[in-house]
Structure 1
Amino acid sequence: MSTEPRSNHPVGSSRWATTRTQWKALGYDDEEIRRPKIAIVNSSSGLAPCFAHLDEVAEAVRRSVYDAGGLGFEIRTVAPTDFIMAAGRGGGYVLSGRDLVSYDIEAVVEGARLDGMICLASCDKTTPGQLMAAARTDVPTVIVACGYQSCGVLDNGRRVDIEEVFADAGKLAAGAIGFDDLCRMSDRAITGPGVCQGMGTANTMHIVAEALGMALPGSAPTQANSETMWAAARAAGPVVMAAVEADRRPSTVMTPAAFRNAVTAVIAVSGSINAVKHLEAIAAESPYDIDVHRLFEEIGQDVGPIAAVQPNGPTTIDEFDAAGGARGVLRQLGDRIDGSAITVSGTSMAEAVAGAPVDAEVIRAEPMRPESTIVVMRGNLCPDSGIVKLSVTENRARTFRGAARVFESAPEATEAIERGEVLPGEVLVLRGLGVTGTPGMGMASNVVFALAGSGLSERVAFVTDGQLSGLVNKGIVVGEISPEGGVPGPLGTVRTGDEIAIDVPNRTVDLLIDAEELNRRIEAYAETRAPRTWPARPGSWLGVYAGAVEPLDRGATLRRAAAN
């Protein structure tokens, strides 16, 4: 290196003496101790298969760092996983866990003044949390996508994965699936480690990391324990060491051009709507003023999906991977991608995707529909934002008008659906699931699946401030309404019987009352602030989060805490 690593302290100082003592005790010699120190960020956990293979990956990465002239130190973070951690406190620990990941990393990387990091990206919240930390600490960083899980096959030859188990569980109460059939699906859905199959949040965010230039070209998505994954792990050490030598920081990689590329890639693969808030959160940690919601609105008018990966269409994630994956998508997008953006390896994005193999039957040169399937909604019911996810291949009703039926919790709404109390023609409104109201953002997908199981998906619209699965939703579903119902705003004032109009082509969601009445209701709610939340014990993580979190349309980061 042309300059001394920041992790090295003046020889003879007390800081040098004590760190030398600690590292000598770990078996390192004086030459090794003077090397650049690289954090190997591992969210390993025994709770879920998403993380089951990460310890082996961490060791391979550590060796690659050492062979490239660095010294790798494995550090651990919290490991949020939706299907397991959504059980407690209304699901509030899942999204909020993303921010814990970022602060876990910051505390060690900044506290120890490490020189760079390699992050093992796995389940939904780890990748955005790692990218947030990279932007905040601004140390050279490489993201290694650790892959998707293999899935099973039923006796009839049908593939089955955990997303199908999740969706079909909502049909059990309505008798649309038998208990034994559901158990058979559950038994066979996962046959190896890694994240969920399909173009859900985890695979979408792995693609985002590559489109941002923070992961190696051609490394996402990939099957866990595949040769592609192991090759990326082995290459990560030399790449991060070169980035440290060149002082190639996230602020030089995750530029406004890179964010445009990432948004374009998400739209092109019809990715998870959760990518919107995660990209917003990453942008909030960067030194740039980037409005991700506006990028989705602007780019989505000119760019449509060029791949239809399950559940958006018939292509499996394995087929998409073999067809070229993220690198193939970026190549097919042509001049809709800013090729001048620099990647962590030092090449331009144009150089990174040049010559990428692409199966044009799977990843097309022209979009399958002219506009984005991720639609940012506005209107007097969601003046800041709301989001609709459309299918790539299905055409369905895109306008709806009906009377509201309001619920304050997902279980209350699900039970009402099962009792037949939610009627065709109504707009089911579920609130109190936002980042402040839950706090931490509650999952609303069970209500979507309950509507599907009861045959109401096409006959009842659904409006919520809660988090939806990264998958396609049936019928008209408007999620992540902002301002949320837990703070003064239009959603918190809706009453059962009020009329709501949803117009997806015009991107509007409106409460059909006059402006004066709406303002009067908002003012009254601001005065009373009747709690519609899970109580968060003061001093608990969710209590801290609720008091510090920014609104969803600004990424639900904890920037407000820093401002105070």
Structure 2
Amino acid sequence: MTDKDLRVKSIDISEGEHRAPNRAMLRAVGFEDSDFQKPMIGIASTWSEVTPCNVHIDKLAINAKKGAKEGGGAPLIFNTITVSDGISMGHEGMRYSLPSREVIADSIETVCGAERLDGLVAIGGCDKNMPGCMIAIGRMNIPAIFTYGGSIAPGKSKDGKDLDIVSVFEAVGQYNSGKIDKEELKHIECNACPGAGSCGGMYTANTMASAIEAMGMSLPGSASNPAETEDKLKDCEKAGQAVVELMRKGIVPKDIMTKKAFENAITVVMALGGSTNAFLHLLAIAHSVDVDLSLDDFDRIRKKVPHIADLKPSGRYVMNDLHHVGGVSAVMKQLLEASLLHGDCLTVTGKTLAENLAEVSPLKEGQDIIRPMDNPLKESGPLFVLRGNLAPEGAVAKMSGLKIKKITGPAKVFDSEPEATQAVLNNDIKEGDIVIIRYAGPKGGPGMSEMLSITGIIVGKGLGEKVGLITDGRFSGGTHGLVVGHVAPEAQVGGPIGIVRNGDSITIDSETQELTVHLSDEEMAARMKEWKQPPLRYERGVLNKYARLVSSASKGAVTDLQEE
């Protein structure tokens, strides 16, 4: 015991004869008299065998528990769910992906609240684990640290080139167009994912891990320490120790997750060329701590932050490569030196961001993964907010690695991703077309399906910069090409994307940040009068509940928004 009693919540069950029944239950799982004098710390594990991203997290949780015990806490491991975006991609299962973020957040909040936990270490791997954990951390506002499960090592092709899961999605398109044979496709399938860890490029998992570290909610190095390494095990043990120190110092998430901390997170995402899913997740996390964050903040920061990272999907390297030259912390050090980060932000170390980065070594000399500030890949960030008569509330696009910044063409309209995918495979989509996939939003999908399958096939067929794709759904962090997602309002609630017809002329323009259907206001109004809202796809169950509760993508697709 320290002079300060850290049992802020657990004292509800650890003191008094009338709480003997409560304590009796904990004695059965290993608690002794001394444990009831310590703060109870939850270790939220997202361990699961359903995805390589999380298959190793049971071991990481054990290390976090060890650290919390050494730090003076009474730790308890509990689990929550995960789903694999890669496995659920391209079929009905993907509708459950974004809703799983809410299930994860709700389940962690539920356990912490019911068990009266005083502190929390949350460990996540696949894409929705991280924002799910962070939303719960924000809601509970008890001392907490997030630890990333780490990135997977790259696989190898026959000629020694790096492979990852996106390589497989694109190989399907290459096979369909005759560029590779069945044997080569099978080789890529069997060698792309060699072990545990999250998808290797600057896709959603690595994007969110980087954003959370930049926000100050992970220990330095957490974002880029690879999954199956001693560094990652130590990372988790230190997190367990550090959360007890946060309790002693009285530091809670709302002290750390300020508006300036979110600006730091957006800055790092833009510099690294991260996933468009960062819009959804950072908006939702900000909502959990009552920080006023909007799409306008992303656009404001994008304009002043250069894109400096040559990382997949549009670049050459993966997170493990970045780890070997200094990692995300070293990139942040470079950004801080360029006065692009708020160095005075508090972090889970109890120190400021600037104090943490003072102890970090700079990027290795001679590396070519991260460009110097005076020679960026692009002068501003690659994640755009687009608006126009097709997306009055906004839409998002990732334009990294593209030579073509604008396209105008005829709409090819589909009310589901499978229909659109079949059209691509049947060669019904031609150069210059604008594919519209609607009724795929938070309510209409429901669940706002990621569309890596169809975009991977389009790129594999050589159409990546020759056709456009617009949806009220969303994209994987592995997606690249002339694609626009998160169109809001979505079709299901009467958004203009719902009245587009085959042949309508559509313009995607990243330079003017416009998303336009070339129709008169009178024609759009006439079509809107004819439009009828379809019923929700699911009458009961988790997807029905989600569709009834979820907000617009422009507000983070949260399920506890109090509409005015």
State the TM-score, normalizing by the size of structure 1. 0.94
SS in 2 for 1:72: strand
Task: State whether structure 2 residue 193 is matched by structure 1 residue 190.
Answer: yes
Shift of the 487–171 alpha-carbon distance from structure 1 to 2, 3 Å rule, reads farther
Shift of the 155–85 alpha-carbon distance from structure 1 to 2, 3 Å rule, reads closer
Alignment of 1:22-421 (within 5 A): 22-86=25-89, 89=92, 91-291=94-294, 293-334=295-336, 335-357=339-361, 358-359=363-364, 361=367, 362-366=369-373, 367-391=376-400, 394-421=401-428
Q: Which amino acid aligns with 1:332?
A: Q
Deviation at 1:403, TM superposition (A): 1.5
Task: State whether structure 2 residue 449 is matched by structure 1 residue 442.
Answer: yes
Residues in 2 aligned to 1:460 and 1:276: alpha-carbon distance in whole angstroms = 24
Q: Which residue of 2 aligns with 1:495?
A: 501
Residues in 1 aligned to 2:266 and 2:10: alpha-carbon distance in whole angstroms = 35
Residues in 1 aligned to 2:157 and 2:460: alpha-carbon distance in whole angstroms = 21
SS in 2 for 1:333: helix
CA contact (8 A) 1:42 1:76 kept: yes
Deviations 1:324-380 (A, max 9, x none): 211111110121100010001110000011142212533333132101111111111
Residues in 2 aligned to 1:416 and 1:363: alpha-carbon distance in whole angstroms = 39
CA contact (8 A) 2:89 2:452 kept: no
Residues in 1 aligned to 2:14 and 2:163: alpha-carbon distance in whole angstroms = 59
CA contact (8 A) 1:121 1:206 kept: no
Shift of the 549–301 alpha-carbon distance from structure 1 to 2, 3 Å rule, reads same
Deviation at 1:456, TM superposition (A): 3.0
Shift of the 188–213 alpha-carbon distance from structure 1 to 2, 3 Å rule, reads same
Q: Which residue of 2 aligns with 1:519?
A: 525
Residues in 2 aligned to 1:12 and 1:68: alpha-carbon distance in whole angstroms = 22
Task: State whether structure 2 residue 551 is matched by structure 1 residue 550.
Answer: yes
Shift of the 442–508 alpha-carbon distance from structure 1 to 2, 3 Å rule, reads same
Q: Which amino acid aligns with 1:302?
A: K
Q: Which residue of 1 aligns with 2:475?
A: 468
Task: State whether structure 2 residue 27 is matched by structure 1 residue 21.
Answer: no
Residues in 2 aligned to 1:354 and 1:211: alpha-carbon distance in whole angstroms = 14
5+ long unaligned stretches in structure 1: none
Deviating beyond 6 angstroms after TM superposition, the runs of 4 or more aligned structure 1 residues are none
CA contact (8 A) 1:23 1:33 kept: no
Residues in 2 aligned to 1:354 and 1:202: alpha-carbon distance in whole angstroms = 26
CA contact (8 A) 1:386 1:479 kept: yes
Deviation at 1:504, TM superposition (A): 1.0
Deviations 1:448-473 (A, max 9, x none): 23323443333321111122120241
- Work out the percentage of aligned pairs sharing the same amino acid: 32
Deviation at 1:521, TM superposition (A): 2.4
Residues in 2 aligned to 1:462 and 1:453: alpha-carbon distance in whole angstroms = 15
Deviations 1:221-259 (A, max 9, x none): 121121221221111122100111122110000000100
Residues in 1 aligned to 2:371 and 2:18: alpha-carbon distance in whole angstroms = 57
CA contact (8 A) 1:434 1:466 kept: yes
SS in 1 for 2:508: strand
Residues in 2 aligned to 1:87 and 1:337: alpha-carbon distance in whole angstroms = 38
Residues in 1 aligned to 2:315 and 2:246: alpha-carbon distance in whole angstroms = 38
Q: Which residue of 1 aligns with 2:431?
A: 424
SS in 1 for 2:159: coil
CA contact (8 A) 1:128 1:205 kept: yes
Q: Which stretch of the first structure deviates more once superposed, 99-108 or 308-317?
A: 308-317
Shift of the 414–247 alpha-carbon distance from structure 1 to 2, 3 Å rule, reads same
Q: Which amino acid aligns with 2:550?
A: V
5+ long unaligned stretches in structure 2: none
CA contact (8 A) 2:307 2:378 kept: yes
Deviation at 1:14, TM superposition (A): 6.4
Residues in 1 aligned to 2:350 and 2:65: alpha-carbon distance in whole angstroms = 21
State the TM-score, normalizing by the size of structure 2. 0.94
Deviation at 1:31, TM superposition (A): 1.1
Residues in 2 aligned to 1:12 and 1:146: alpha-carbon distance in whole angstroms = 36
